[in-house]
Chains A and B, each alone.
Chain A
């Protein structure tokens, strides 16, 4: 079948642009695909690549205690780097069921992770308002259950030990 599109009114595309329909203009116009961190698009000549941005400033954060308290964002990884004081994290106050965060211990100042009421932390068969790492390279993952009225952040993939409060 011959190419039948009436393309005579389409503007030229720049590298990595494609045509997206614009309801205001009433026609397709050149545009880049948009992404929300930690997703990113990488464009080249005639190519668009979609993936997770491994840039540390977007999806993985190294933080010390000077920025306490550190409100976490779903889908992100946190590396506490302080060598003398605890780095304090607060689990996201809003999340969708199944969304995750994780903390990879690095600094000797250790770290603490809190939940904002009515959220709580479920760890094994215990419930806690916050957990504190007990050694330098402790690691902990969380996923959100969204259960009401007591939405929990379920802890899993734990390395090292944590104190519960």
Chain B
């Protein structure tokens, strides 16, 4: 059995630990934050905390068309409505979330479907093939999407604010 020795053990910096590697020798590294988590390191401490639904934020100013990414939050701050497109099939997994909110005095948003087989459902209505949902022409409209079926993707819209149009 291989025995590590002081010769192949790197020096640790604050918050680091020894982690096995393919090189055969341990490396000094801190824990990495994964989905929905934050890692805070300190001297002799590592805290992993839950971010809940605090998704990765993206602040958009006149961005043109934006392909949505799962588990991200988008804040629109544009004089023109921001045009979003749902992710291509198999990019998101069931349970993934996307949240879009509008900034005060900006022009709202549209979400188009990536292909004619994808659907967004809202309360009691589906989008038509190639359709869209919209919170355009108003300030502070918001929506959250969750993927409930994959390939072709089916998203359910909820936690909405403002007038949502579904086509």
Q: How many residue-residue contacts, CB under 8 A, span A and B?
A: 150
Counting chain A residues whose Cβ lies within 8 A of the other chain, the interface size class is 35 or more
Contact partners of B156 in chain A: CB under 8 A:
104-106, 137, 139
Given A3-B6, A13-B26, A52-B36, are A62 and B20 neighbors across the interface (CB < 8 Å)?
no
Inter-chain contact A159/B20, CB cutoff 8 Å: no
Inter-chain contact B19/A12, CB cutoff 8 Å: no
Given A8-B3, A18-B18, A51-B36, are A159 and B148 neighbors across the interface (CB < 8 Å)?
no
- How far in angstroms is the closest Cβ of chain B from A146? 18
Inter-chain contact A10/B20, CB cutoff 8 Å: no
Within 8 A of A (CB), among B19-53: 19-24, 26-27, 29, 31-37, 39, 48
The answer to whether the Cβ of A79 comes within 8 Å of any Cβ in the partner chain is: yes
- How far in angstroms is the closest Cβ of chain B from A131? 16
Question: What sequence of 0s and 1s flags, for each residue 139-165 of chain A, a beta carbon within 8 Å of any chain B beta carbon?
Answer: 100000000000000000101100000
Contact partners of B9 in chain A: CB under 8 A:
3, 5, 7, 10
- How far in angstroms is the closest Cβ of chain A from B15? 13
Inter-chain contact A7/B4, CB cutoff 8 Å: yes
Complex alpha-carbon distance, A157 and B143, angstroms: 11
Given A19-B17, A45-B22, A50-B31, are A137 and B5 neighbors across the interface (CB < 8 Å)?
no
The answer to whether the Cβ of B160 comes within 8 Å of any Cβ in the partner chain is: yes
Inter-chain contact A8/B20, CB cutoff 8 Å: no
Within 8 A of B (CB), among A47-78: 47-56, 59-60, 62, 77
Inter-chain contact A56/B94, CB cutoff 8 Å: yes
Given contacts A50-B37, A139-B158, 6 further A-B contacts (CB under 8 A): A7-B4, A12-B20, A13-B4, A52-B36, A62-B149, A139-B159
Using a CB–CB distance below 8 Å, which chain A residues touch chain B? 3, 5-19, 30, 40-42, 45-56, 59-60, 62, 77, 79, 81, 104-106, 135-139, 157, 159-160
Can you offer 8 A-B residue contacts whose CB atoms are under 8 A? Answer: A12-B3, A16-B20, A40-B34, A46-B27, A50-B34, A50-B48, A51-B35, A56-B95
